Amino acid sequence: MQLSPTMQKYILHWGEMGTRWGVNRTVAQIHALLYLANRPLNAEDICETLGVARSNVSNSLKELQSWGLIRVQHVLGDRRDHFVALQDVWEIFRLITEERKRRELDPTLSVLRECAIEAESDPLIEAATRVKMDKVLEFLELLLSGYDDFKHLPPGVVLKLLKMGSKLGQLAAMFGNDEEQK
Amino acid sequence: MQLSPTMQKYILHWGEMGTRWGVNRTVAQIHALLYLANRPLNAEDICETLGVARSNVSNSLKELQSWGLIRVQHVLGDRRDHFVALQDVWEIFRLITEERKRRELDPTLSVLRECAIEAESDPLIEAATRVKMDKVLEFLELLLSGYDDFKHLPPGVVLKLLKMGSKLGQLAAMFGNDEEQK
DNA sequence: TTTTAATTTCTGTAAAGACAGAAATTAAGG
DNA sequence: CCTTAATTTCTGTCTTTACAGAAATTAAAA
């Protein structure tokens, strides 16, 4: 399986981006390849196309599955596992966001809470420092609860919100402190 | 300068988080220390407190300055540079977001645009693949334009939006396609 | 059941980034 | 201007992660 220069460029870049977003380059490149492919690919296809060792492909596929970004799809007449990537961009975004929250922000929230509690009884920590710890904690809690509310919105609604742009700020001013308007 | 176990825990964790968000552990730890400190610290203070080589501190401080997260603040009677971190959590968040957009998403947007254009004339790229490239590009453009609209909102307004939660979805349905209501 | 293909695990090493410390440069103080 | 402190740059190495390939295990086909 050959890649055109444009596809190579795309996949290489996706790989670079992936390292910034929590997975290694090879994992991200495999994800890109499976996303762009219009049919299920097996591990050997991937090895050949990307020039990566079979075992590395195997481990990377396992990681992508743990993120829920790809799944196994068997092909009639071929006993090898084939893989397909999620094709809906919104869903991909949702999954990555959710998974990163779970792997990173949730543990951070725990640590920040523990530290806030411990700091209450730690005479070595100045009051001003304690306040700052509390502010970071409140900020993260607010962000996460806001995210929790938003994550269930259908893409179409999110789309509308994004397109409303700064008009949203005006609406918040009008409605933010009122009971529901129906 | 001694750190209590709680402060150590906090700073260590911030360091781990930092590596997930684009800076190395030491850079993030120094940022945490300067944030929690209630006075300007010089490079030697930081070396001693975190047990890091002076040169590493120097380079890390330079990086934090490039993110705009800290600045030099001279202290009377001491010719050494002292440093203070931004203290407003919202502002820190805004800066990190903006800077990451600039360093990562803007280049990605460029590459995606180039690839979309190149793919138009690449006979090796299937139409379905081209559609997928376009979808990712549209998604990112939408996200970035939405972000552009939101980033100028004052923290108080953002706070309101976050607190409105799923009520926002209802408002989008009511107002999303209408002209402004005044 | 055996054979063979496919996958996974393991292990050593390659690569990249982080780091410490020496050397060089800069700048403040005397 | 000289001295010395402070900072920066450079370089070698340490650490961590990624990776390749061999070996082991699993599972499908004959």
**ipTM of this complex prediction, to 2 decimal places:** 0.88
Residue B21 has pLDDT above 70, yes or no: yes
Residue A31 has pLDDT above 70, yes or no: yes
Residue B156 has pLDDT above 80, yes or no: yes
Over residues A77-86, mean pLDDT: 94
Contacts of B161 in chain A (CB under 8 A): 146, 168-169, 172, 176
Lowest mean pLDDT among A82-91, A156-165, B36-45, B73-82: A156-165
Percentage of chain A exceeding pLDDT 90: 75
The answer to whether the CB atoms of A124 and B171 lie below 8 A apart is: no
For Cα atoms B94, B95, B96, give the angle at the middle one, nearest 5 degrees: 95
Lowest mean pLDDT among A68-82, B93-107, B152-166: B152-166
The answer to whether the CB atoms of A36 and B157 lie below 8 A apart is: no
Q: Please report the residues numbered 136 through 155 in chain A whose beta carbons come closer than 8 angstroms to any beta carbon of chain B.
A: 136, 139, 142-143, 145-146, 148-150, 152-153
Mean pLDDT value across chain B? 90
Please report the pLDDT score of residue B175 as a whole number: 65
Predicted confidence band at B176 (pLDDT cuts at 50, 70, 90)? Answer: low
Helix, strand or coil, per DSSP, at residue A91: helix
For Cα atoms B129, B130, B131, give the angle at the middle one, nearest 5 degrees: 90
Smallest Cβ–Cβ distance between A6 and the set B37, B118, B148 belongs to B118
For residues A48-66, one letter each, b for 16 or more C-beta atoms within 10 angstroms of the residue's C-beta and e for the rest, the string is: ebbebeeebbeebbebbee
> Chain B: nearest CA to A53, how far in angstroms?
25
Greater confidence (A158 vs A65) lies with A65
Predicted confidence band at B150 (pLDDT cuts at 50, 70, 90)? Answer: confident
Residue A144 has pLDDT above 70, yes or no: yes
Please report the pLDDT score of residue B177 as a whole number: 55
> Residue B144 and residue B160: Cα distance in Å, rounded?
21
> Chain A: nearest CA to B43, how far in angstroms?
20
Predicted confidence band at B20 (pLDDT cuts at 50, 70, 90)? Answer: confident
Please report the pLDDT score of residue B180 as a whole number: 41
Please report the pLDDT score of residue B182 as a whole number: 36
Tokens 């490149």 found at: A29
Please report the pLDDT score of residue A155 as a whole number: 85
> Residue A29 and residue A57: Cα distance in Å, rounded?
10
Task: Report yes or no: B137 and A14 within 8 Å, Cβ to Cβ.
Answer: no
> Residue B75 and residue B84: Cα distance in Å, rounded?
11
Task: Report yes or no: A73 and A63 within 8 Å, Cβ to Cβ.
Answer: no
Over the stretch A92-103, which tens digit does the pLDDT of each residue have? Answer: 999 999 999 999
> Residue B4 and residue B8: Cα distance in Å, rounded?
6
The answer to whether the CB atoms of A146 and B162 lie below 8 A apart is: yes
Helix, strand or coil, per DSSP, at residue B82: strand
